[in-house]
Structure 1
Amino acid sequence: MIAVSDNLPAGARQPTESGDCIDENDARQAANWVAETLERLSRSSFRSSFTLSPHDAEYARRKGRELIDRHAHEMLAQRVGAAQPAKDGRQTPWRGHPVFTAQHATACCCRGCIEKWHHIPRGRELSAQEINQLAGLIMAWIDRDLAAHPAVTGERDGWAAPPENPKDAGAEQGGATPQPRRRSDAAGHLERSRRHPDNHHADGASGFIQGELL
């Protein structure tokens, strides 16, 4: 029997989602990048207007962090990973899955937003490392949003888990599902975000509203 430990020795390399390994310095740099990027995103009134709907938050808590993390990697690879994604700029729904909302909140929703915010150029495939990086940002945003709106009962994979909802048992990854109407905030960010698909992703769009990077 081989004994294993959860504690890595100094300088040890840790596996990533893709199976590659990163050392502790790389992990620290990645964590710093996520924290700095979330802080930068918080200064955009558009990006900071997003929050998970009650339905999507419940879905995330019920499915658990590990599965949502896998969905994040898969959705990034499928929807924005190609050099020229299909319908780029309109390929990410506004909601229906927690990752979709997080993609818009973190500017990982299309290659144009990824280029403007994360300086990854269009016209080439995303590398596995870049997908890992963006997925880490998405998961950190979901972690923060769920922590800001805690559920009442239970814990699961670091997320509070409300009771199972039988009506949602058949919901599939990325599928559009009925959700409660959300009340907009006083600044009207929700209404603007719903109008936004036709201008902030459009070819030739400036990427700015009232001087702000979207």
Structure 2
Amino acid sequence: MSESFLLAGTGLSLLVGYLMGSVSFAVVVSHLMGLRDPRSFGSGNPGATNVLRGGNKLAALLTLVGDAAKGWLAVWLATWGVAQAWLPEAAIPLAGLGAFLGHLYPVFLRFHGGKGVATALGVLLGLQPWLALATALTWIIIAFVTRYSSLAAIIAAVFAPFYYVLGDKVAWHIDALTASVIVAISVLLLARHHENIARLIAGKESRIGGKKKSGS
């Protein structure tokens, strides 16, 4: 492959992934169902958790599925492009990174997006299904034991890169670029949860199913 082909392919995968990730299902679903814009109440975060705060469980579920699906689809399309010899191998993880960045900083919402948990899981599902399963199970276990959704997301984000390394030559063969993308996604997830981390330390973070604590 020529250098120009590699550059064009990687750039295209990032751009397409970013544009796909920029579609906010929280806003789209709420608009189609005649609900309030999720940016106008609660945390103001355009994500499934804040949609749930609006009281519509179906809308929250559709948002969760949509946000995860766009991450998976971006990776799948890049994988298909690589199989057709239209894109270089690097396009696969970069498309996932683009989708994740699009969710965090969507061009359609003036770069104010969600925290990216569902989209990150969708990206992992596209990259390595078993890695996505291990990460999702980590979230479920921590959330069930502690009843802190944010803590579960934080711990799952920390463990995801380690799971990827541990699975080398067992469930998959590690790729340096893919590993770097997974680490980048994990770091960005932690950064997006900095307020949650502060509230967890202060003991003010809300639990799943509990009332919102004062100061949170």
TM over 0.5: no
TM-score by length of 2: 0.25
Structure having the larger proportion of residues in strand: 1
TM-score by length of 1: 0.25
Greater per-residue helix proportion: 2
